[in-house]
């Protein structure tokens, strides 16, 4: 079971990271949040005031920086060149720009290489948008995790307001729809369900039920 490679893709806010963490823990695999890597590059680009349309500069950043993860009891911390940016990469300006940055082929090339290197060394549950199609096309298990946009927005809204953030539900819903459009419409490695991925629709399901469903699929692939 240790070398199982699980690809977990799907649209924004489908609950991928929550589910992936729990599945990884239960199966003794390493959780890899690829969205955090694209967010880290976006954060760095914003810090250096690089225009998200400047492909050469973004490509240079992604081949230069070092991204590391450190497992914690809550999930994982994200480091860029040794600096802890776990909180920073969830900021609104990072979320607003990450789709543009992740559409750059040079950025994708560096990060896909890093993701494949990790998965070559250990069993993983890797969450993202192109894991089943591009990063690990021969993954042992491929899951497409989805839910209605209404439900995804509601969950994100509850999560953010519980943390004390103030936001407008309709705006949040539009932002999620916009990010999905950009991620699925881009030219290079668009967000796409792999033909052989199992669809898990989480609308109306609790986390435990979703995790159980995915564990069942993983155990059948052993």
Candidates 80-88, 116-124, 126-134, 205-213 — which segment interacts with ligand C5P by CB under 6 A?
126-134
Give the residue with the Cβ less far from ligand C5P, 14 or 211: 14
Give the residue with the Cβ less far from ligand C5P, 151 or 183: 183
Instruction: Report the candidate in 183, 61, 205, 67 with the shortest Cα–Cα distance to residue 133.
Output: 183
Q: Which two tokens stand for residue 128?
A: 């993202």
Give the residue with the Cβ less far from ligand C5P, 27 or 130: 130
Compose the 91-110 pattern: x for residues touching ligand C5P by CB under 6 A, - for all others: -------xx--x--------
Is there a binding annotation on residue 18? yes
- Quick check: 193 binds ligand C5P (CB under 6 A)? no
The per-residue b/e assignment along 169-208, b for 16 or more CB within 10 angstroms, e otherwise, is eeebbebbeebbebbeebeebebbbbeebbebebeebeee
- CA–CA separation, 82 and 94 (whole Å): 19
Q: Which of residues 131-190 bind ligand C5P (CB under 6 A)?
A: 131, 179, 183
Is there a binding annotation on residue 17? yes
Instruction: Report the candidate in 150, 135, 141 with the shortest Cα–Cα distance to residue 200.
Output: 141
59: phi then psi, degrees, rounded to nearest 5? -65, -40
Instruction: Report the candidate in 182, 37, 40 with the shortest Cα–Cα distance to residue 117.
Output: 37
- Binding-site member from 5, 129, 152, 173 for ligand C5P (CB under 6 A): 129
Is there a binding annotation on residue 220? no
- Quick check: 31 binds ligand C5P (CB under 6 A)? no
CA angle 72, 78, 84 (to 5 degrees): 100
- Binding-site member from 5, 21, 39, 142 for ligand C5P (CB under 6 A): 39
Strands, E, within the chain: which ranges?
5-9, 30-33, 67-71, 76-80, 83-84, 124-128, 141-146, 198-201
- Quick check: 35 binds ligand C5P (CB under 6 A)? yes
- Binding-site member from 52, 75, 128, 132 for ligand C5P (CB under 6 A): 128
Candidates 33-41, 60-68, 140-148, 202-210 — which segment interacts with ligand C5P by CB under 6 A?
33-41
In 10 A of CB 65, how many CB atoms?
14
- CA–CA separation, 37 and 111 (whole Å): 7
Is there a binding annotation on residue 35? no
Annotated binding site: 10-18
Which parts are annotated binding residues for ATP? 10-18
* Residues found near ligand C5P in the complex (CB under 6 A): 12, 34-35, 38-39, 98-99, 102, 128-131, 179, 183
């Amino acid at each position: 079971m240790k070398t199982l490679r699980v690809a977990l893709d799907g649209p924004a806010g489908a609950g991928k990271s929550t589910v992936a963490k729990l599945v990884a823990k239960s199966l003794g695999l390493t959780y890899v949040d690829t969205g955090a890597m694209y967010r880290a590059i976006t954060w760095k680009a914003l810090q250096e005031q690089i225009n998200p349309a400047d492909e050469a500069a973004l490509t240079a950043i992604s081949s230069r920086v070092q991204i590391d993860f450190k497992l914690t009891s809550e999930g994982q911390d994200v480091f860029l060149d040794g600096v802890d940016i776990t909180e920073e990469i969830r900021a609104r300006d990072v979320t607003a720009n990450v789709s543009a940055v992740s559409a750059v082929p040079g950025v994708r090339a560096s990060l896909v290489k890093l993701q494949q290197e990790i998965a070559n060394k250990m069993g993983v549950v890797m969450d993202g948008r192109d894991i089943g199609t591009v990063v690990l096309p021969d993954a042992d298990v491929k899951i497409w995790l989805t839910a209605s946009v209404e439900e995804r927005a509601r969950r994100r809204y509850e999560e953010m307001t519980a943390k004390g953030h103030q936001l407008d539900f309709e705006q949040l819903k539009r932002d999620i729809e916009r990010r999905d459009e950009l991620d699925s419409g881009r030219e290079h490695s668009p967000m796409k369900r792999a033909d052989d991925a199992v669809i898990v629709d989480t609308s109306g399901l609790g986390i435990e039920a979703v995790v159980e469903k995915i564990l069942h699929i993983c155990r059948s692939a052993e």
